[in-house]
Amino acid sequence: MNLFEQITSIKDERVVAARELASAAGRERARKCLLEGEEILEWALAANVPIEQVFFHAKIGEHPLLTRLHAAQIPCYAVTDGILKKISDTAYLIPFLGVGNIAHILSEPTPLQDFVVLLNDVRDYGNLGTILRTARAFGIHDILTTSPQADVWYKKVVEASRGKVFDIRLQRFPSPEAACAELHRQGFQIVATSPRAPTLQSVARLQPKPIALVVGNETEGVCDAVFSQADLVVQIPMSGQVESLNVGVATGISVYELKLKLVMAMLTNYIRSTLGRDVNVAGKLIQQALDARLRSVSAFNSAQVIFLMVLKCDQTMSIEHVGKDMAMFGDELQALLDPLRTEGLIHEESGLLRLTEKGELLLGQFWSIVESTEDELLQGFSADERQQFRDFLRRLHANCIRVMTPQA
């Protein structure tokens, strides 16, 4: 027994709305697309595309896809083969048809990543899909077009991209000139390819700036309007027996080579902006600031005071535990602990360290210095921002532990 609602009329408003999506104009008006077939629906689910509804052949019984759709609370409707053919506008039967909302992919312009692909009137659906799949394989999200009518939601494009079209950010421009002007405004260097370019792509020198690779039309290549605005025009060297490459293949070669060149050209900037470096620098600066305050009243440094605070909370700690907690080992760890032992601030018994009464008294005196220094370091932060900062650090710590933990 079928548990899903049945639709028997081609005039049902849900069917009428879905039929509109068989054309590029209908997809553009609705900012939705048809998900034609089981495989494309699976890709859309994997990419978290909002699926508004699914039509399936009424003769289909229990099916894993229907189970998944039902679990995701996506409305599913059993229909006849005639209705399915009308929705897809085909003479053959597609047993599953979905309606996907693509408004989020066609969202308002957002800051672009450091490598984008600009489609300059690429028309072949198979090439379009191959380019999108290649771009995502190299971590490129941003796809720009020089035509406001560019349709990447046609079934052949979705199939050739293996569903990667659902994982891009698409921006359309009214003309090549408009696209190039915006790219330059955002600090991109525009790289175009031509079989007659004076510079080989493999030896081209890039600026340490983001790259916009222009992919040209299959027949005419990159248009003159783009060439006039390009910062660099390069060619892919080929044997004399081959005049040109398929645009999808050429894009793959260019993306691979230029992405590598971009990394090398911007390596210094990448290194300076890595998360590890930022956190390391911030940690060292905080430690130096606290050291400067402590030196005015004692011979102890911030690492020793922080250790005393941790020991106060934990009550007892093994040497091994201290080393892991303070990220210190060997001579460095002994240099941390020896002055505290000498001054009678900590006591060791049966391999465990504990804080002495003298240590607790000294820690109480240091606490006001730690608090005042922390207030200075967080000057200009609101109470909410301070709490958010601590929450971010806790989440970062948790993620670090997850990365370091071996997977089962």
pLDDT band, residue 364 (cuts 50/70/90): confident
The 3-class secondary structure across 46-85, one letter per residue, is HCCCCEEEEEEECCCCCCHHHHHHHHCCCCEEEECHHHHH
Q: What is the pLDDT of residue 164?
A: 92
For 63, 309, 322, 355, the CA distances from 359, given in Å and listed in that order, are 69, 10, 16, 6
Q: Are 158 and 132 in contact (CB under 8 A)?
A: no
Q: Whole-angstrom Cα distance, residue 318 to residue 335?
A: 16
Three-state SS at 28: helix
How far is Cα 96 from Cα 89, in angstroms, rounded to an integer? 14
CA distance 405 to 399: 10
- Delineate the domains of the chain, giving CATH numbers in brackets: 5-101 (3.30.1330.30), 115-271 (3.40.1280.10), 275-377 (1.10.10.10)
- Collect all residues with Cβ–Cβ distance below 8 Å to 404 and sequence separation of at least 6: none
- Residue 157 neighbours by CB under 8 Å, 6+ apart: 125, 126, 128, 129, 132, 151, 165
Question: What is the pLDDT confidence band of residue 177, given thresholds at 50, 70 and 90?
Answer: very high
Structure tokens at 402: 């997850």
* Whether pLDDT at 358 is above 60: yes
DSSP E strands in 112-255: the ranges are 115-119, 142-145, 169-172, 189-193, 199-200, 211-215, 232-235
With H, G, I as helix, E, B as strand and everything else as coil, classify residue 304.
Answer: helix
Which residue is associated with the tokens 């692909």? 117
Tell me whether residue 385 is exposed, middle or buried, using C-beta atoms within 10 angstroms of its C-beta: 0 to 12, 13 to 18, 19 or more: exposed
- For residue range 42-82, list pLDDT tens digits in order: 999 998 899 999 999 999 988 999 999 988 999 999 999 99
Percent of the chain with pLDDT over 70: 92
- Highest mean predicted confidence (pLDDT) among 162-166, 301-305, 322-326: 162-166
pLDDT in tens, 199-208: 787 777 888 7
Tokens 């510079």: give the residue.
199
pLDDT for 84-109, tens place per residue? 999 999 999 999 999 999 888 776 56
Residues 196-222 have a mean pLDDT of 81
Q: pTM for the complete prediction?
A: 0.62
Flag whether pLDDT at 121 surpasses 90.
Answer: no
Neighbouring residues of 113: CB distance < 8 A, sequence distance ≥ 6: 140, 141, 142, 210
Query: How far apart are alpha carbons 27 and 319 in whole angstroms?
Result: 66
Q: What is the pLDDT of residue 384?
A: 85
What's the pLDDT at 242?
A: 46
User: pLDDT band at residue 271, thresholds of 50, 70 and 90?
Assistant: low
Tell me what the pLDDT averaged over the chain comes to.
Answer: 85
